[in-house]
Amino acid sequence: MRTAILASGRGSNLQALIEACQSGCLPIKIVAVGSDQPGTGALKRSEEAGILTRVFPIKNYPHRQAQEEDILIWMRENRVELLLLAGYMRVLSPQFIRQVSFPVLNIHPSLLPAFPGLHAQLQAVEYGVKVSGCTVHLVDEGLDSGPIILQEAVPVLPEDTEESLAQRILEVEHRLYPEAVRLLVLGKVQRFGRRVQILQQEG
């Protein structure tokens, strides 16, 4: 499945997806990586892996819609069949989502619907929850509100800071995101409204 990835930062989840592809564990082909930020670690990782990259700096566009139109054209040119968000820090507009005819997935560092949006790990620490984690979900027109594919819990320790909790959650993200993508591509993900069922593996 021809896959594009949008990323804004260091690209550690992107790297996990690249390595899963290279090992043969993930049946997708990452054909392009885009970013709204020039010079990111995600772009560097992509270039090192020989993947086509493109930057869409928001300052280069008169408004958000123009940037998103450019991203849509870029995906059409690359015949994209799946879009993955890997630390992409801009919320895609409802208009963008309505124009995409293929699945869009995101990973979020909390057990949604708890702590959507930015700084989810800090929100968890400040709220005093005992368990947080990460969620892979289908992207819809809301903020981190799409149907949930996979979740995994991570305990919040009494001494945790935003940074220490984020690091432990990230280790789980690197395993959970490729697995969710694999299940989707293999047709193991069935959606019934908001609910997602994972079909049992054969054998």
With contact defined as beta carbons under 8 Å apart, do 144 and 112 qualify? Answer: yes
Q: Among candidates 187, 154, 191, which has minimal Cα distance to 173? A: 154
Q: Among candidates 152, 151, 149, 153, which has minimal Cα distance to 182? A: 149
* Set 63, 108, 137, 174: catalytic member: 108
Q: Among candidates 113, 110, 112, which has minimal Cα distance to 126? A: 110
At what angle are helices 41-48 and 12-22 packed, to 10 degrees? Answer: 20
Is 108 among the catalytic positions? yes
Q: Which residue type occupies 72? A: L
Per DSSP, 58 falls in state G
CA distance 127 to 37: 31
Active site residues: 108
